[in-house]
Each structure stands twice: as structure tokens, then as C-alpha cells.
Structure 1
Amino acid sequence: MITLNQVEAMIKSELPDALVQVQDLGGGDHLQAIVVSAEFEGKTLVKQHQMVYKAVKEAMATEAIHALALKTYTPQEWQKNSEVA
């Protein structure tokens, strides 16, 4: 079974500047990740998600991660989101 810290490390290996929060949604293989990175600037939401999925591709291929829900933000979007909350 994969740990939340391992998933975080995988994402940070592709996006070194990222703030990453990973949560288990059940069973250890259904996860949610919030990823904040300047690398997302100017990219569509689909492209942002593709960047994260690339980082965890191997874990998903071996079914260590069965499902991964993503929320991706640029630092500016994250700051705005944090101010609203």
C-alpha cells in the first residue's frame, strides 16, 4: 500500500515548488490531492491535472492508487481561495 507521504513526494518530484496536501478518501487507494504550484500559471485545468497525473503515473498503473481526485491552483488562486474561506 502506498502512503500519503509517498504520493506527496511523487508529486513534488515533478513539481518541486508545489504545496501538496494528500488525503485518504477511503481504503488507502482512493485519494484526494490539493496541489498549488507556480508551474500551473497559464495552463488549462486539464493540463494542470495532466502534470500531476504524470507524477503519479506509475502508482496508478500498479493500482497502488485506484482513484485520485485533484484540486489544482496557482499560488494566486490559492491565496484568493484561502481569503474566501
Structure 2
Amino acid sequence: MVVTADHIRDKLLQELEAVHVEVEDTSPNRCAASFKVLVVSNQFEGKSLLQRHRMVNSCLGEELKEIHAFEQKTVTPGQWEKQKSQ
């Protein structure tokens, strides 16, 4: 399986019903070995940071087997709006 930023974005949008997803390939030469993601979803409401990260990890279980480094930021729409206005 070749993991791409678009594939990760589409899967998170669909499975976590995310309202916004940003995916950046941070690996040298953009070789899809390292990714940084921002996921904004209503499903994160009332969940701890660990629970949110587990939701993302579960969603991308097969993809994470192919990725060497994965950084994620998970926020609710309210938290995201607050961060954007700062």
C-alpha cells in the first residue's frame, strides 16, 4: 500500500466525520514516510487527548504500518476556532 497525504485526508474526513483535515508529508523528498496531521472533528467533544489520538490511530491502522513517523493534533471545532482567532 502506498500511503499518500490525500488518502490520509480522505479517510479521516470520512471515518471521523472531520470538518477540517490538514495533512503534510514531512519526510525528506516527500517519500510518504512521515506525516503531520491536524484533525478537527465533533467526535472529539468530551474526549481526552489520548482518546482522540486512539481514534485517529484506529482509523489509520493499516496506513500506520507503512509510516515511520506520525504527528497528530486533534481538536474540536470550538477549539479550532479559538486557536485561529489568537
Q: Same fold (TM over 0.5)?
A: yes
Output the TM-score relative to the length of structure 2.
Answer: 0.87
CA distance in 1, matches of 2:38, 2:18: 13
Letter in 1 for 2:49: L
| Identity percentage of aligned residues | 34
Letter in 1 for 2:45: E
SS state at 2:37 partner: strand
The answer on 1:13 being equivalent to 2:17 is no
Shift of 1:14: 1.8
The answer on 1:80 being equivalent to 2:85 is no
Q: Deviation above 2 Å: which 4+ runs of structure 1?
A: none
- Determine which of 37, 42, 53 is the counterpart of 1:33: 37
CA distance in 2, matches of 1:17, 1:11: 6
What is the total number of aligned residue pairs between the two structures?
82
Output the TM-score relative to the length of structure 1.
Answer: 0.88
Q: CA RMSD in A?
A: 1.2
**Structure 2 regions of 5+ residues with no counterpart?**
none
SS state at 1:59 partner: helix
CA distance in 1, matches of 2:25, 2:18: 23
**Structure 1 regions of 5+ residues with no counterpart?**
none
Letter in 2 for 1:14: E
**Per-residue Cα deviation, 1:19-75 (whole angstroms, up to 9, x for no partner):** 1100011132100000000100000000001111111101112x1x22210001101
| Alignment-derived partner of residue 45 in structure 1 | 49
Letter in 1 for 2:14: S
